[in-house]
Amino acid sequence: MTTATDSDLPEVAQSRQSGTQIIRRGLALSPAIKDGLAFTIVLAVLSTVGGSVVPVLIQRTVDAGLGDGGDTRLSDIGTFLAIASALILLTAVVAYWMRIRLFKASETGLAQMRVDAFRHVHDLSMLTQNSERRGVLVSRVTSDIDQVSQFLQFTGIQIVVSLGQIVVATIIMAYYSWQLTIVVIVCFLPLAISLKWFAQRLSDAYDIVRRTVGEMIAVIAEPVVGASVVRAYAIEGRTQQRVDDGIKGNLDANVSAQKLVAVTFASSGVAGGLANGAVLAFGVILGVAGDLSMGTVIAFAFLVGLFVGPVQTATQVLTDAQNAIASWRRVIDLLDTPADVVDPGAAGVLLPAGSLGARFDAVTFAYPGGAPVLKEVDVVLAPRQRIAVVGETGSGKTTFAKLLTRLMDPTSGTVRLGTDPHEAVDISTVAFVDLRRHVLMVPQEGFLFDATLRDNLLYGRHDATDQRLLDVVADLELDDWFASLPHGLDTQVGQRGESLSAGERQLVALLRSALADPDLIVLDEATSAVDPQTELRATRALDKLLQGRSSVTIAHRLSTAENADRILVFDAGRLVEDGSHAELVDAGGVYGRLHGSWVAQATLTSRAGEPA
């Protein structure tokens, strides 16, 4: 199959929703995050107030210690110290409680988002899945959501705590000395004004970081999956170059973002230092003038600490927030990408039981941005027929099969299914669960999961008993092969079935299809060369599988076409010939030529096998 360039294909949508919109949508998509949030915020504020009251107690202790005219009140000092200790302990307990609540709520909410995002990847059309590289999709479900989780559990509440701390510290500072309070505010004003500008720059920088993380995972994952091809073609160097480029892209993006972070952090450091110095200088002047007590000046120094801390971390908080929003946006964009093959769900119609036929009415299909690859196809497929689809490579056979199984929808025209093709229903109105029960597409290379043979077969029918599995093995006359397996149904097939031979993987795919027991089977005939014994087994098993069912096979072998009840011939996206093998050979058209080259190839192969 030829593929188009990535730019021609639909990708996951990219929104430009603002940060606030993203947070609002994110919270709406994970409602569990908001469960009990109000109480958690109350706890956060309480822990802040607890911490902020301590400087007041320090002022009281110092002033009681020095006393008016050197009169030290020891009992007051004891009381203030006891209250301060109790407050510090209480604050710690409240802060612990708040974090646990926050952790539970955010993890529950995000787990739901992870499940939704994963499901949605499966709902996306084959087109979107093909165009968006797998690694990028994986990163949206994993690392992007991790980023949001970190934000919610640490940074998000940090914002509440910091704001609370600034407000409380400002109130207490203003209560002690409005002049010093103004000094502190003036020192931080330039930073506060430029924060929005920094935030936008950081947001852009972190959008790039998150994108490069996805790209990096994609270029690393690809050669790991295709390791055998990389080795076979000795393209380790080129592959390494792509991986290096991916890693470098991410590194560069991170460095650019961190430079901005460093600027914001340094600026807040400068503002903090300035405020501390100014407070001490003005505090001493006011103290000497007799306007402030010693305890108040010391308390003020602590209060400035409470004020400076959050402002200094504010830039870090802002950075994390921008990073998390960039991640949240990527997950939301994924969830917002429409599934273009829409499941009618419960509103869908059910297909009648029995062998299914199909009808194509003026069906045209074009890949997005491309010319039609299937043009005005009109055809009626009767039930219980064995139909072979043939044509040159790229003629549209696979596209026809995908439309027949609704892996894609036609650009125009209608595909219908039914036991009577003349009264068939529009395939797009059939509920997915019902469609998948009746119609099965068997690709050339059925994907095997890294599990036992049993587990892999159960993908065909999840509730089948071992006895049923063995019956199907017998039905397809594969008992002798099955007996040769070291552990029967418990045999591990390895990653992607690599512990089995290519031929054995075909047998597993056929067994799985037989278990699914579809009424219409659409099959892309395997082309990989296998040993003669397995070939014989596969041919026999396939024959058994197709018996009594409607089948449409993309035929790559002479014998499959010859044995079909009917042959559909595609050429450059058009259905150009339709008839039995004998009729089409006599007609001497496209099929005649194709058949001629098959025969010539078969003769060559058999000669090559003859003993000299």
Ligand X SMILES: Nc1ncnc2c1ncn2[C@@H]1O[C@H](COP(=O)(O)OP(=O)(O)OP(=O)(O)O)[C@@H](O)[C@H]1O
85 binds ligand X (CB under 6 A): no
- From the list 62-70, 112-120, 239-247, 396-404, the region that binds ligand X by CB under 6 A is 396-404
- From the list 393-401, 512-520, 528-536, 594-602, the region that binds ligand X by CB under 6 A is 393-401
DSSP state of 445: S
Q: Which is nearer to ligand X, 309 or 394 (CB)?
A: 394
Report how many residues bind ligand X under the rule CB under 6 A. 16
The three-class DSSP label of residue 568 is strand
- From the list 144-152, 347-355, 389-397, 413-421, the region that binds ligand X by CB under 6 A is 389-397
Binding string to ligand X for residues 341 to 370, with x set by CB under 6 A, is what? --------------------------x--x
Q: Which is nearer to ligand X, 157 or 590 (CB)?
A: 590
128 binds ligand X (CB under 6 A): no
153 binds ligand X (CB under 6 A): no
Pairing of strands 357-366, 574-579: unpaired
| Residue positions counted in the chain | 612
- CA-CA distance, 98 to 537, in Å (whole number)? 65
- From the list 2-10, 37-45, 218-226, 413-421, the region that binds ligand X by CB under 6 A is 2-10
Encoding tokens for residue 548?
């009594």
**Counting beta carbons within 10 angstroms of the beta carbon of residue 542, is it exposed (0 to 12), middle (13 to 18) or buried (19 or more)?**
buried
| One-letter-per-residue 3-state SS of 131-195 | HCCHHHHHHHHCHHHHHHHHHHHHHHHHHHHHHHHHHHHHHHHHHHCHHHHHHHHHHHHHHHHHH
Q: How far is the CB of 580 from ligand X (least distance, A)?
A: 21
1 binds ligand X (CB under 6 A): yes
Q: How far is the CB of 225 from ligand X (least distance, A)?
A: 19
Q: Which is nearer to ligand X, 1 or 193 (CB)?
A: 1
130 binds ligand X (CB under 6 A): yes
396 binds ligand X (CB under 6 A): yes
- Single out the residue of 357, 391, 418, 518 in contact with ligand X (rule: CB under 6 A): 391
Binding string to ligand X for residues 88 to 127, with x set by CB under 6 A, is what? ----------------------------------------
The three-class DSSP label of residue 82 is helix
Q: What angle do CA 590, 593, 598 make, to 5 degrees?
A: 125
Pairing of strands 386-391, 412-418: unpaired
- Single out the residue of 20, 228, 393, 467 in contact with ligand X (rule: CB under 6 A): 393
Q: How far is the CB of 601 from ligand X (least distance, A)?
A: 15
Whether residue 427 contacts residue 406, with contact meaning beta carbons closer than 8 Å, is answered with yes
- CA-CA distance, 224 to 597, in Å (whole number)? 38
497 binds ligand X (CB under 6 A): no
Listed in sequence order, the DSSP H helices in 226-293 are 227-232, 236-288
399 binds ligand X (CB under 6 A): yes
Task: List strands edge to edge, sheet with 372-381.
Answer: 372-381, 357-366, 412-418, 425-426
286 binds ligand X (CB under 6 A): no
Residue in the structure block whose two tokens are 């990073």: 323
- Hey, how many other C-beta atoms are within 10 angstroms of the C-beta on 600? 10
Q: Which is nearer to ligand X, 31 or 370 (CB)?
A: 370
Q: Which is nearer to ligand X, 83 or 366 (CB)?
A: 366
397 binds ligand X (CB under 6 A): yes
Q: Which residues bind ligand X (CB under 6 A)?
A: 1-4, 130, 367, 370, 373, 391, 393-399
